[in-house]
Amino acid sequence: MEFENIYKTYWERIFRLCMGFVNDRDLAQDLAQETFIIVWQKLHTFRNESGIGTWIFRIASNNCLRQIEKEKRFPKAELPSHITEEQHYSVEPQIQFLYQCIAGLPEMDRIIISLELEEVKQTEIAKIVGLSEANVRVKIHRIKEKLTQKFKENGQ
């Protein structure tokens, strides 16, 4: 598969996955772009042991986790609320709330639900995160229950 086709096929999904991790539009775009730089650089090493999508999602997940670790070590100063609100004006309030809820989940749950929302097969999610398929199914069910509860609490 040519890089250009890979980029066109996966850009939106990878961007949304990154949004699920960081809940920041600009940072998610940067992370998605970095993911595709890595894909471009390493495409010749892809061995077809898994699907190309699984490989790309794994790269994106690892990239996002590295960013989260960086932020833990070097937290950024809080922005004034009016700047933060302006930054997300184009995203529907319910979608924005969903991203906020996902961002508040533990890292593994965040990876799993972000991949699930991108309609990655549970078999592939299991390979990406290194869990059994049964464990992934249970986790997805529990995460969805948590998110549903948060929406109910927020009156969504």
Q: Check which CATH number belongs to the domain holding 38 and give it.
A: 1.20.140
Yes or no: say if 73 and 31 are a contact pair by the CB < 8 Å rule.
Answer: no
SS3 156: coil
pLDDT band at 156 (very low <50, low <70, confident <90, very high): low
Closest listed residue to residue 22, CA positions, set 99, 86, 94, 130: 99
Structure tokens, 71: 């932020």
Give the residue numbers spanning the domain of 51.
3-153
Residues 6+ apart with CB under 8 A from 108: 129, 139
Query: Whole-prediction pTM value?
Result: 0.63
Query: Can you tell me which residue has the tokens 């699907």?
Result: 51
Domain count, the chain: 1
| pLDDT at residue 87 is higher than 50 | no
> What single letter denotes the amino acid at residue 151?
F
- Specify the DSSP element, H or E, that contains 36: helix 25-42
Per-residue pLDDT of 91-115, as tens digits, reads 577 777 888 888 888 888 988 998 8
Range picked from 43-52, 58-67, 87-96, 130-139 for highest mean pLDDT: 130-139
